[in-house]
Amino acid sequence: MSATLESVSSIVKRKKLLLVDPGHEVDHLLQEVVSGEAWDIERAPDNDTALLLVKAGPFDLVITGQNTSAREDVDLLRKIRMIRPHVRMIILTAKSTPEDVVASLRENAFSYFQPPFDRVLLADMVHQAVSEPCWDDGIEVISATPNWIRLMARCTLVTADRLVQFLRQADLPEAEKEDLAVAAHEMLLNAMEHGGKFDPNHYVEIDYLRTRRAVACRMKDPGEGFSLEELRHAAVGSSPEDILSHVMVREEQGLRPGGFGIMLAQKLVDELIYAEKGNDVVLIKYLNPLAGSAS
């Protein structure tokens, strides 16, 4: 029995992680995130050393530290990609601007975090970074300024999760930011599932606009659209007398459990507007004008 376990262990590929000067707080957090996994962890005191280590050999994942700025980390990612074109990097930084978030999207960073670092979200991104195949063309930036970003998102779950984590870096008050992120995630999953059929060859077109008074997020999926009045598989289409009647419909249609996405999004944003065809939706969240100006 022990011989069998040893043989199984020997064929399990250990994951190679390069950790760049994380600082004590992040170092402790990452120890929790990668605990119990088969990790080979190498540490670099700075970005220059990290680049030399990547030149010497490949890593499954590179995680930067909060002691460097996001601009420095994006520059490191750009240099690494010249050597390892498909490297996966998660940027952790305490020094960030909206321009840096856009730059990280353009350079195909896998994910991006600013303090306070959420352990659950970070653990999920680390897991997806080392387990998901074919990821680095999932988000294509068409045009971008900090106030207006247009991109295409591949219809896969990992792309939806990655994109919403970038959205969580928006320069917004925390409450509004999280409401918008959750609502956008629900609507993005709807667009990818029902419009794109979770087909990785299909994409959702997304616009993110930020003004001093509001944030708008538009999503257009490649599907034929639908009518809210005929949406029997969603809670928003259930009768008031039986709010869970959509559950049986979803089971009959072989859909994943859920169906509360539109209803939840309606509660979290101030306006949710569908185009006539139904495959184009806009989420609008109003902001306190004293909470900050447009970035």
Domains of the chain: 1-136 (3.40.50.2300), 137-295 (3.30.565.10)
Dump pLDDT digits (tens) for 49-102: 999 999 999 999 999 988 899 999 999 999 999 999 989 999 999 899 999 999
Q: What is the pLDDT of residue 229?
A: 58
pTM of the model: 0.84
The type of residue at 250 is R
Residue-by-residue pLDDT tens, the chain, 295 positions: 444 434 434 445 788 999 998 777 778 888 888 866 688 889 999 999 999 999 999 999 999 988 899 999 999 999 999 999 989 999 999 899 999 999 999 999 999 999 988 999 999 999 999 988 766 779 999 999 889 999 999 999 999 999 999 999 998 998 899 999 999 999 999 999 989 999 999 999 999 999 999 999 999 999 998 765 565 555 444 455 545 554 455 556 666 554 578 888 999 999 999 999 889 999 999 997 654 444 4
CA distances from 282 to 183, 217, 242, 257 (A): 11, 6, 28, 24
| Relative orientation angle of helices 261-268 and 174-190, to the nearest 10 degrees | 160
The shares of helix, strand and coil residues in the chain, as percent rounded to the nearest 5, are: 40, 20, 35
Q: What are phi and psi of 120, to 5 degrees?
A: -65, -45
* DSSP label at residue 208: E
Residue 143 φ/ψ region, left for φ over 0, alpha for ψ in the -120 to 50 degree band, beta for the rest = beta
Residue 108 φ/ψ region, left for φ over 0, alpha for ψ in the -120 to 50 degree band, beta for the rest = left
Burial bucket for residue 69 (CB in 10 Å: 0-12, 13-18, 19+): middle
Cβ atoms of 168 and 185 within 8 Å: the answer is no
The percent of residues in the chain predicted with pLDDT above 70, rounded, is 81
Cβ atoms of 112 and 170 within 8 Å: the answer is no
Rg, Å, the chain Cα set: 21
Beta bridge partners of 20: 44
